[in-house]
Every structure is written in structure tokens, then in C-alpha cells.
Amino acid sequence: MLITDLYECVVCCETENRDYRKITSKCTHKAVVCLNCVNKHVTTSIKGNKVEITCPITQCGKLMEREDIKNIVTNEILERYDKLSFNLAIQQIPEFRWCANCGSGQVHTGKGIHPVVICVYCGKKSCYNHRTIWHENQTCEEIDEKGQYEDKTDIATKYYLNNLKSCPNCKIHFEKVSGCDQVTCICLYKFCYL
């Protein structure tokens, strides 16, 4: 439902050339926020890695469904929403792990019995338990006892551990090559790289 009228948007207080739509399929209030402001609300929420987006009318608070979001945002933002929703959903599977090398993800059913996860995308080994690249010549128990890798660790692993940061959310390690210190992980979690 599209309404073009001279209502005043309760967010931007503009009246000219504003489109008003029912924000969610569950909203019972009058359309008082313009489409532009709803779009900004949804886009900001998605860029902040939030998928549970509510109607911006404080008294309403109804959750926006995917179809509601689809009716408001651009295709690019909808794709980002879908990717974020998928990444957050897949991480709820306890056996799911991100590859510590390439950032691809997969389910690993070996857990503690077979803690080596071999990435189906890049073929590199990661540790299921520690969510890092695989620690050659050391068991997970040895790592846990010492609290760190032994000197036998290869040069690439040492570089990896000393120079890369891990995401506070999913623990995957990565290196920032350039740009702003505000980074977004493969799991779409945002944090400061410093």
C-alpha cells in the first residue's frame, strides 16, 4: 500500500514528496514514517549486523519480517540482510566452523574425536576446538596444557598467530590489508581492528 500525501514524517519532519507505507504486516498504527526514513532505519540496522529489526515507531515495536524488509530496501541491502541472516543462522549449529585460512564455513561432525577440520573450499586444516589453523605436531590437550604453541610451529603459523587478529564473535583469524580500522568479519560482526 503506497500513500503519497502531505503527512509529516515523525522522524525527519518533512512533508513534501514523502511516500508512506505500512512498515510491517503486523503494524496497526497509521503510516507516519516516510519510506526514506524507514529505509534508513532498516539499512542502518543491517549494516550494524542486526537482523531482528523492529518497526521504528517506539509504541509499536513489531518485528519486521523478510517480506516487510524486501518491500522497503534496495536489492543490494536485501542481499546483505539475507547473507547476514544466513551467517547468523548457520553459526547456531554447534558443529559449524569457519575455516581459519580462507573464511569459508562448514559443519564438522568429528568434534573432540577428530578435531582436524579440512576445508572443503581451500583444503587447509583448522582446529575444531581452538578455531585456529591446525597445530601440527601438537594435540589439542598439549595446546591447552601449555596455553600456547610450541616453537616447533612452522613459520607461517607463527606469523599467523603473531600478526593476525581474531574476530571476537566467531574467533576466525584474519589480517587487515588496508583501510579503516573498523572491520567486518566473514560472520558479519563489526569491530575495531586495533
pLDDT at 65 (0 to 100): 92
Taking the model in full, what pTM does it have?
0.60
Give pLDDT, residue 190: 81
Q: Which residues have CB under 8 Å from 171's CB, separation 6+?
A: 131, 132
Q: Where are the alpha helices (DSSP H) in the chain?
A: 35-47, 66-70, 75-90, 140-146, 155-163
**Helix/strand/coil (H, E, C) string of 22-45?**
CCCCCCCCCCCCEHHHHHHHHHHH
Look at residues 185, 161, 181, 163 and name the one whose alpha carbon lies nearest to residue 172: 185
What letter represents residue 93's amino acid? I
Cell 572491520 belongs to 183
Tell me what pLDDT residue 82 has.
92
What is the CATH topology of the domain spanning 3-88? Answer: Herpes Virus-1 (3.30.40)
Task: Output the tens digit of pLDDT for each of the chain's 194 residues.
Answer: 444 445 678 777 877 777 777 888 888 888 888 888 888 888 888 887 788 888 888 888 889 999 999 988 889 989 989 988 888 888 888 888 888 888 788 898 877 678 899 999 899 998 888 888 888 888 888 888 876 544 444 444 455 556 667 777 766 666 666 667 777 776 677 878 77
3-state class percentages of the chain: helix first, strand second, coil last, to nearest 5: 25, 15, 60
- In the chain, domain spans: 3-88, 94-192
